């Protein structure tokens, strides 16, 4: 029984590999090809914030290891209001917005999850379809209980 428990992680990883589905990658083990998995975000998107107002974001791959996310004032995408970056450096994928930084902890072809380094919450982008991405944000409330909010982004154009 002890031997089989020791082999359980190997068995599970082989089962995932045999299924053809790539397992999420461990933090700090990312390369350019893996970074490219978040290309499902490329394009222009419309969302509705917690305040009920529409917002417009554009995700642009500006190099093999750099994504820029730009928030615009309206659907014309002509006036940039705010922005953030996602970069790969020394095997680590970082998302930076203003003074906040998150570190990627898992990455697949349809989902990228980040934990805070110096930010108030964690988040995941998840591709639901070619036209829909959700953003799930998680944080602890003042009462210590986990809170979450899910935004849906709808593709405006590629």
* CATH, residue 150: 2.40.128.20
**Residue 16 counted as domain residue:** no
pLDDT the model gives residue 116: 96
What is the tally of structural domains in the chain?
1
The pLDDT assigned to 10 comes to 30
HEC per residue, the chain: CHHHHHHHHHHHHHHHHHCCCCCCCCCCCCCHHHHHHHHHHCEEEEEECCCCCEEEEEEEEEECCEEEEEEECCCCCCCEEEEEEEEEECCEEEEEECCEEEEEEEECCCEEEEEECCCCCEEEEEEEECCEEEEEEEEECCCCCEEEEEEEEEEEEC
- Write out pLDDT tens, residues 134-158: 999 999 999 999 999 999 999 998 7
- For residue 115, what are the domain limits? 24-157
* 19 within domain boundaries: no
> What parts of the chain have a pLDDT lower than 70?
1-28
């Amino acid at each position: 029984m002890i031997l089989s428990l020791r082999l359980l992680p190997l068995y599970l990883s082989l089962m995932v590999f045999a299924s053809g589905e790539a397992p999420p990658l461990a933090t700090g083990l990312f390369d350019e090809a893996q970074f490219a998995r978040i290309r499902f975000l490329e394009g222009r998107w419309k969302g509705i914030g917690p305040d009920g107002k529409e917002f417009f974001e554009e995700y642009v791959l500006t190099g093999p290891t750099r994504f820029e996310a730009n928030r615009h004032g309206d659907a014309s995408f002509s006036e940039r209001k705010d922005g953030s970056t996602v970069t790969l450096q020394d095997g680590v994928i970082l998302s930076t917005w203003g003074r906040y930084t998150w570190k990627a902890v898992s990455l697949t072809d349809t989902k990228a999850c980040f934990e805070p380094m110096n930010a108030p919450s964690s988040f995941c982008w998840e591709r639901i379809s070619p036209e829909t991405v959700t953003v799930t944000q998680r944080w602890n409330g003042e009462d210590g209980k986990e809170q979450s909010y899910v935004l849906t982004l709808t593709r405006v154009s590629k």
